């Protein structure tokens, strides 16, 4: 994770983890994170390749491997639209859930998302909204078919509070 992306993540941690220490959760042992700055320029000052902001959701493309930049950006836009619409719709039936998640996905030769690794904010209600509003739409994404090689993407998302100007 680049320093600037690490800074964005750290800025979001207090918001994303508020209320996570209610005592009824599993305890994660202390870890040691190593931050490496590759020195490469990215398209966003936060260190992301692309960021799609919506009214109550933001989806950031952390990495796209062997996927054309315009295709990856279009996929992130679709995910941001789906997440924003879904979270907004769910807020009409209950409180607006604030959450965060990271998805690392492998894209197969057919263009379908074949495997995912998902990390979700552990607060109550977040897993449900993440699975319905972010993970399901991510698994439904289709990319152009390819003849081989490892393809995939990693995104980080926040939702459930006004994001600000697009």
- How confident is the model at residue 133, as a pLDDT? 97
Average predicted confidence (pLDDT) for the chain = 81
Express as a percent the part of the chain with pLDDT over 90: 64
Secondary structure of the chain in HEC code, one letter for each residue: CCHHHHHHHHHHHHHHHCCCCCCCCCCCCCCCCCCCCCCCCCCCCCCCCEEEECCCEEEEEEEEECCCHHHHHHHHHHHHHHHHHHHHHHHCCCCCCCEEEEEEEEECCCCEEEEEEEEECCCCCHHHHHHHHHHHHHHCCECCCCCCCCEEEEEEEEECCCCCCC
Q: What is the pLDDT of residues 58-103, one digit of tens each?
A: 999 999 999 999 999 999 999 999 999 999 999 999 998 999 999 9
| pLDDT at res. 39 | 37
The predicted-structure confidence for 109-158, as pLDDT tens digits, reads as follows 999 999 999 999 999 999 999 999 999 999 999 999 998 789 999 999 99
pLDDT at 56 over 50: yes
Task: Give the confidence band of 37 by pLDDT, cuts at 50, 70, 90.
Answer: very low
**Given a cut of 50, is residue 26 above it in pLDDT?**
no
Mean pLDDT, to the nearest integer, of 23-33?
46
Mean pLDDT of 50-63: 97
């Amino acid at each position: 994770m680049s320093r600037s992306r690490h800074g964005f993540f750290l800025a979001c941690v207090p918001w994303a983890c508020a209320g996570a220490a209610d005592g009824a959760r599993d305890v994660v042992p202390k870890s040691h994170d190593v931050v490496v700055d590759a020195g490469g320029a990215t398209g966003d000052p936060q260190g992301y390749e692309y960021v799609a902001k919506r009214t109550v959701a933001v989806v950031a493309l952390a990495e796209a491997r062997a996927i054309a930049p315009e295709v990856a950006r279009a996929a992130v836009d679709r995910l941001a639209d789906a997440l924003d619409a879904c979270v907004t719709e769910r807020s009409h039936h209950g409180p607006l859930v604030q959450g965060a998640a990271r998805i690392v996905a492998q894209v197969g030769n057919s263009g379908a998302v074949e495997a995912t690794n998902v990390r979700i904010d552990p607060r109550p209600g977040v897993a449900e909204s993440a699975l319905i509003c972010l993970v399901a739409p991510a698994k439904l994404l289709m990319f152009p078919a390819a003849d081989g090689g490892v393809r995939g993407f990693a995104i980080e998302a926040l939702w459930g509070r006004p994001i600000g100007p697009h």
